[in-house]
Amino acid sequence: MAGATITVTDADFEEKVLKSDKPVLVDFWAAWCGPCRQIAPSLEAIASEHDEIIIAKLNIDENPATAAKYGVMSIPTLNVYQGGEVAKTIVGAKPKAAIVRDLEGFIK
């Protein structure tokens, strides 16, 4: 059974995301962002339904260095990291079904 989303920070991003054996979807978000709050339940559901991908959340206000490093200009931005590289970028709030479609190739 898969787990819930994890929280990542500037300090542990490399360890938890870039060095992961599994693909990691990182949700770049902020507490004041309405669309970010809107997609959070969908991401939690995907995390609980698919153990072949890790869903991580990075608060850009608390961790600006990582967001800047990856050129995150608008939120929510969802980056899928595989093998230490960005494999896919999804920008904006979408329904759960659309996010799952975007993740084809990373989840079963």
Q: Where are the domains of the chain?
A: 6-102
Facing residues of 24 across strands?
54, 81
List, run by run, the mean pLDDT of 10-residue segments along the chain (108 residues).
83 98 98 97 96 97 98 97 97 97 94
Architecture of domain 6-102: 3-Layer(aba) Sandwich (3.40)
Under 8 Å between Cβ of 54 and 46: no
Residue 6, amino acid: I
Clarify whether 33 is annotated catalytic: yes
Q: Give 25: exposed, middle or buried? Use CB within 10 Å, 0-12, 13-18, 19+.
A: buried
CA distance 93 to 103: 14
Catalytic residue among 8, 24, 26, 33: 33
Clarify whether 36 is annotated catalytic: yes
Facing residues of 27 across strands?
57, 78
Evaluate if pTM is beyond 0.75. yes
Catalytic residue among 36, 47, 55, 60: 36
What pLDDT score does 43 carry?
A: 97
